[in-house]
């Protein structure tokens, strides 16, 4: 029911094409049938990741690697695309959905790129959407999100980046660490920020 409501709501609000990065927990065959019933055009495959995000009792986020490192999820997505890409007179289009930049290890992203090229389909990934992700990637890979994605080869003309509000970062002796915001203004990260505002340089 949730999937049907989400797609009908998008159509009712004027969307003719939906990029669905999740699709909900129901059976995938049911999802395909819903796309057929709604009449819209949908880009979809089930998402996958190598790491999960959790929050502890004190509100701190942490990541845990999946034992399977996301490979069965990638296989499910590839199999879905092979079976259903072009269904309903082409209204259902396959797109690979590695879940978020910080929850996908570099090798999984590289395998996603290879699979997308083999299937001749695009890629969608959530990236640059929040400071937690920015700091996780900066800490783990020593580079901002966009540079990390470029280095693993996922950026290209057929890649859609969801959000991308944080485009890069800088450091320097006089102002510590800055992050570029969506309006081009940098935010300081060299001291705790107040909950209601950012310090704009």
- Quote the pLDDT of residue 6: 87
Comparing CA positions, the residue from 90, 110, 81, 88 lying closest to residue 98 is 110
- Quote the pLDDT of residue 22: 81
HSE toward the beta carbon, residue 115, CA cutoff 13 A: 24
- Quote the pLDDT of residue 2: 80
| pLDDT tens-digit profile, the chain (201 residues) | 788 888 889 999 999 999 998 866 668 999 999 999 998 999 999 999 999 999 999 999 899 999 999 999 999 999 999 999 999 999 999 999 999 999 999 999 999 999 999 999 999 999 988 888 988 998 999 888 999 999 999 999 999 999 888 876 555 544 445 555 556 666 555 444 333 333 333
Q: Report how far residue 33's alpha carbon sits from residue 26's, in angstroms, rounded to the nearest whole number.
A: 12
- Quote the pLDDT of residue 191: 44
N residues, the chain: 201
The model carries a pTM of 0.82
**Full 3-state SS string of the chain:** CHHHHHHHHHHHCCCCEEEECCCCCCCHHHHHHHHHHHCCEEEECCCECCEEEEECCCCCEEEEECCCCCHHHHHHHHHHHHHHCCHHHHCEEECECECEHHHCCHHHHHHHHHHHHHHCCCEEEEECCCHHHHHHHHHHHCCCHHHHHHHHCCCCCCEEEEECCCCEEEEECCCEEEEECCCCCEEECCCCCCCCCCCEC
């Amino acid at each position: 029911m949730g999937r049907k409501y989400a797609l009908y709501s998008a159509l009712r609000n004027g969307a003719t094409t939906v990029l669905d990065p999740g699709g909900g927990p129901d059976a995938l065959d049911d999802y395909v049938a819903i796309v057929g019933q709604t009449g819209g055009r949908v880009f979809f495959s089930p998402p996958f990741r190598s790491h999960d995000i959790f929050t502890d009792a004190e509100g701190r986020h942490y990541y845990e690697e999946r034992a399977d490192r996301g490979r069965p999820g990638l296989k499910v997505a590839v199999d879905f695309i092979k079976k259903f890409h072009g269904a309903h007179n082409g209204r259902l289009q396959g797109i690979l959905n590695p879940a978020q930049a910080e929850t996908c290890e570099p090798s999984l992203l590289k395998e996603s790129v290879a699979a997308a090229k083999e299937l001749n389909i695009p890629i969608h990934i959530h990236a640059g959407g929040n400071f937690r992700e920015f700091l996780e990637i900066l800490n783990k890979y020593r580079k901002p999100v966009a540079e990390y994605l470029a280095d693993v080869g996922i950026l290209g003309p057929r890649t859609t980046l969801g959000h991308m509000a944080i485009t890069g970062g800088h450091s320097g002796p006089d102002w510590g660490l800055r992050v570029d915001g969506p309006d081009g203004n940098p935010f300081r990260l060299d001291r705790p920020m107040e909950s209601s505002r950012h310090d704009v340089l």
